[in-house]
Amino acid sequence: MIPWVVLERLYLYYSYVDSLPPEINWVSSQMLGEALGISPDLVRKDMTYCEIKGKPRQGYPVPELRNYLKKLLKLDTSVNSVIVGTGRLGSALANYEGLKKSNMHVVGLFDTDPKKVGTTLGDLTIMHLGKMHDFIKENDVVCGVITVPAHSAQQVCDLLVGAGVKAIWNFAPVALKVPDGVYLRSENIVQGFVLLRISLLEANQHGS
């Protein structure tokens, strides 16, 4: 099994390779390392988890590497998802092309705000949360994205799990509880900034 930290870097490699112009047919560990701030030795070590073999002085064949990483990272499989909470963050995620490109298929948007329910966001009409259970069942939804305030997040999570989703992507600043068999990933945006700020301030202290 590939460690998560390696999978995270493999995704970076895929993103870089996928962005290369079509006339570039080979990419070396040196190119990948310089572009992503990763040592070439670590790039080569990560590539041992792949079946794509490099060639001396040339590197890895771009089309084969791109296709292999896409399949390895399951980016060729569409995942039906719903977003609960259509504030600024939820709306941004619903319209984010990067998620669409990674085959995250947002098929439903839900909220409880009467000012939002019934309005459209992109190609979708925002529905009331009360309709979510049946919608998830009818549309083979497997992933729920939570972008509601912290005090509502666990309730929304329970509703998603009760409707049958198998993965929760949580953006609310709260620790959620899910049963066995449901995958949970939480993103704490404020925490990320706090850690960045600590690094910045410590660097300034050492430099003064």
Same domain, 33 and 133: no
| pLDDT reading at 205 higher than 80 | no
Same domain, 32 and 107: no
Predicted TM-score (pTM) of this structure: 0.84
Residue 87 CA to residue 111 CA, distance in Å, equals 9
| pLDDT reading at 103 higher than 70 | yes
Among 72, 94, 117, the domain-final residue is 72
pLDDT of residue 101: 86
Same domain, 64 and 109: no
Among 72, 95, 127, the domain-final residue is 72
Same domain, 90 and 63: no
In a domain, 207, yes or no: no
pLDDT of residue 86: 96
Residue 90 CA to residue 74 CA, distance in Å, equals 24
Residue 108 CA to residue 29 CA, distance in Å, equals 41
Among 72, 102, 122, the domain-final residue is 72
Same domain, 113 and 187: yes
pLDDT of residue 203: 76
Residue 44 CA to residue 31 CA, distance in Å, equals 11
Residue 146 CA to residue 65 CA, distance in Å, equals 33
- The tokens for 128 are 């009331």
Q: What is the mean pLDDT of residues 90-117?
A: 94
In a domain, 204, yes or no: no
Q: Between these two residues, 53 and 68, which has the higher pLDDT value?
A: 68
Q: Hunting for tokens 């459209």 — which residue is that? A: 120
Q: What is the mean pLDDT of residues 55-65?
A: 92
| pLDDT reading at 62 higher than 80 | yes
Give the E-state strand segments of 69-111 in sequence order: 79-84, 104-111
pLDDT of residue 134: 97
In a domain, 206, yes or no: no
Q: CATH no. for residue 91? A: 3.40.50.720
| pLDDT reading at 79 higher than 80 | yes
Average pLDDT, the chain: 93
| pLDDT reading at 83 higher than 80 | yes
Same domain, 13 and 110: no
Same domain, 48 and 95: no
Q: Between these two residues, 143 and 99, which has the higher pLDDT value?
A: 143
Could you read off the pLDDT of 17-34 as tens digits, one per residue?
Answer: 999 999 999 999 999 999
Element (H, E) at 126: strand 124-128
Same domain, 93 and 185: yes
Same domain, 67 and 120: no
pLDDT of residue 178: 97
Q: Hunting for tokens 């990763």 — which residue is that? A: 38
- Of the candidates 3, 115, 102, which has an alpha carbon nearest to the alpha carbon of residue 49? 3
Q: CATH no. for residue 28? A: 1.10.10.10
- The tokens for 120 are 């459209």
Same domain, 96 and 58: no
Find the domain containing 106 and state its range.
Answer: 79-191
Q: What is the total count of domains within the chain?
A: 2
Percent of the chain with pLDDT over 70: 99
pLDDT of residue 148: 97
pLDDT of residue 207: 63
